[in-house]
Structure 1
């Protein structure tokens, strides 16, 4: 009976988190098959999403962002997105585009004008030293400490960087915390380019250690976000740690050649 009860609980958790992911991006299904010139109620929400992830300029003077016309701005943004993620470049909201765009991802915008593989933030910001400190915000959940420390060691193992714990949060180079953001299975985490150093995990996620149904592995996402803290932007390589999208019940804790080559190119070591 106990085993059956646990199976019911796990099934319920999978259902809850799957439904959350579906609901978060359900609006995309309303736009399948539409193309330039159509007037579609609510399509400004798609423009805003593409702006948030780096495919439409965030210039506040851009009045087209609030328009419900499927215009040149939206078609161009969709083509850039499809090209970056190696989808068919159709300029319409097709099935493959909806499928990928509906997945949870890192909240850092893409850099679609950059390299075809690894990428850097605009201006290629870097740290002035290889000796960096990290700290966790007071009250950080205890099960996050070791996974994030492991992720830091993984980056240190392929580079000259050395990371040490700083007990004073505000004095650390990397400031790691769990904060409210946008709810489950949307933007999993967000971090900033050098030399800001903030890393925010969305506290609404079902954070776990390892591969758990409906769960998001802390170390896998931490490894990705630390790449941003070091100066790497999103990669087009789906195998790379620096790929923007992350599926629940997945573990990605091994840096790939693309990640390592990107860091070497950025810091010339």
Structure 2
């Protein structure tokens, strides 16, 4: 399998090699192009015979580069039949080794220009100019160095520590990008292109601790990822685009992404052509360090898969990128399950729930059935929860019993009651008194501001947390229990000595998905001993806290995104 080191960036960046025009005219995105005659699109030459197939297999890493002593186009170490068989197997075709019609059709599919597989060490040998031309490369003095970059050392060989392309991943978490000024597409407006690229970067940011920022002002050498469109020989790049129909883009790991402007790239609203968003997400994956995979459902498949309007990064793609950059971490203001009742087709009432994570002014819906956040999150609290504070919520409590169904948000010295039917905060109570109200008014004896709170249905008590103290509030008598407040470590003792949050919890909530109470502080969580745990081990203390674990190992992909992409 081709590792992302396929594209070792030992060359100067392409835009530094190419002459830089001063203040280039920006067609389309600076003025109306309706009066301009568009240049005709070049068509890629289809792969139709043995010679074409040999060039394809060599170009995309399915066979080995020949040495100068051997005839151009004849693979070394692998026969053509062996190379074809490998390609057929990867593409789920009968592995006959014959260049039949289905195999040629697979070779002619629109695809990414990054090679698919890793080659033996002989791949670094120089290659005859004629063969380079057939591969879509320019026969220049830097060919050998380009081939060494394109076809890297196999696993097990020592990488040169001085090679800036030796690492598969960026060494920093904040990355800048730019659509280069003289390399916009001729088919979409500049605003459309930049919006699509912002969304593509956001999709990777939703599953990694990476922060992508568009930078349109810094010197080009300071921008981490450059994107541009071109045709044929383009942007000073050693690779040559083949025209519409085959290679639609290629990427340089830790550096650049080039799109073939002969392809019919389309915006988000179109169901024809090639989705620029889907291609951009794929190529960004390469820049970040991911190789191709032939796994069904992966965004890193080399071939373009049409008619996937709601595509996203699948579980394996997420785990692959997180092996390079780690998982997302961070504390939460509050976490809770939102309970609702629905009637099925037979009129029976069913209880449903969603889990929400709140941090600063953002929130995530957690899909428990998929064990990950909802695609497209986070969103702004302002847009999803009308009438409550728009950031830094202290606590959420759902008092849910046979006689009550009340939801409260707390912040500072105040609380808000939420109307789940109309999906907005109440403006006044049944007596006409306005919300928000003082916590001391609605919950006498409870201090403010709070750290967090949760409702225990077993005892019909709200537990309020303030620094190292916990207050047990009886919702039926509307008062704090006589023996409270108590130390948190007394009410919720540690199973393992000293393994306890002790004070200043970030959040506490009962999870209906796990039938357990969880405490959150920083990047860690503690699970409270449940009734089921006590039945299985009677020596466990009542409401004891199991040793802490990382939040990111139980709740996945709760990731921040750059503020410029919040409303996409």
**CA 144–152 in structure 1, closer or farther in 2 if over 3 Å, else same:** same
- Equivalent positions of 1:17-36 (< 5 A) are 24-27=45-48, 30=49
Tell me which residue corresponds to 1:239.
297
- Equivalent positions of 1:95-244 (< 5 A) are 95-111=101-117, 125-139=168-182, 140-141=184-185, 142=190, 143-167=192-216, 168=218, 169-180=220-231, 181-193=241-253, 195=254, 197-210=255-268, 212=270, 214-244=272-302
**Contact 1:241-1:252 within 8 A present in 2 as well:** no
Greater relative contact order structure (CA < 8 Å, 6+ sep): 1
**Contact 1:219-1:253 within 8 A present in 2 as well:** no
- Equivalent positions of 1:40-51 (< 5 A) are 43-51=50-58
Q: 1:239 Cα deviation (Å)? A: 1.4
1:202-234 C-alpha deviation (Å, 9 max, x unpaired): 111111113646511110100000000100010
**CA 234–73 in structure 1, closer or farther in 2 if over 3 Å, else same:** same
SS at 2:112 equivalent: coil
SS at 2:304 equivalent: coil
1:15-49 C-alpha deviation (Å, 9 max, x unpaired): x99xx5xx73251xx4xxxxxxxxxxxx2221111
Query: What CA RMSD, in Å, does the superposition of the two structures yield over aligned residues?
Result: 2.8
* Range moving further from structure 2, 239-248 or 129-138: 239-248
Q: Higher helix proportion, which one?
A: 1
**Contact 1:216-1:250 within 8 A present in 2 as well:** no
Larger Cα-atom Rg: 2
Structure 1, unaligned stretches of length 5 or more?
A: 1-15, 31-42, 114-120
Q: Distance in 1 between matches of 2:292 and 2:54?
A: 20
**CA 248–183 in structure 1, closer or farther in 2 if over 3 Å, else same:** farther
SS at 1:258 equivalent: helix
**Contact 1:103-1:247 within 8 A present in 2 as well:** no
Q: 1:133 Cα deviation (Å)? A: 0.7
TM-score scaled to structure 2, two decimals?
0.37
Q: Distance in 1 between matches of 2:221 and 2:306?
A: 32
**CA 60–174 in structure 1, closer or farther in 2 if over 3 Å, else same:** farther
Structure 2, unaligned stretches of length 5 or more?
A: 1-39, 120-151, 154-165, 232-240, 328-568
**CA 254–152 in structure 1, closer or farther in 2 if over 3 Å, else same:** same
* Range moving further from structure 2, 231-240 or 81-90: 81-90
Q: Distance in 1 between matches of 2:170 and 2:47?
A: 40
Q: 1:248 Cα deviation (Å)? A: 5.2
Q: Distance in 2 between matches of 1:249 and 1:211?
A: 12
**Contact 2:209-2:325 within 8 A present in 1 as well:** no
1:131-172 C-alpha deviation (Å, 9 max, x unpaired): 111011114241211111101000000011110112233321
Aligned residues: 226
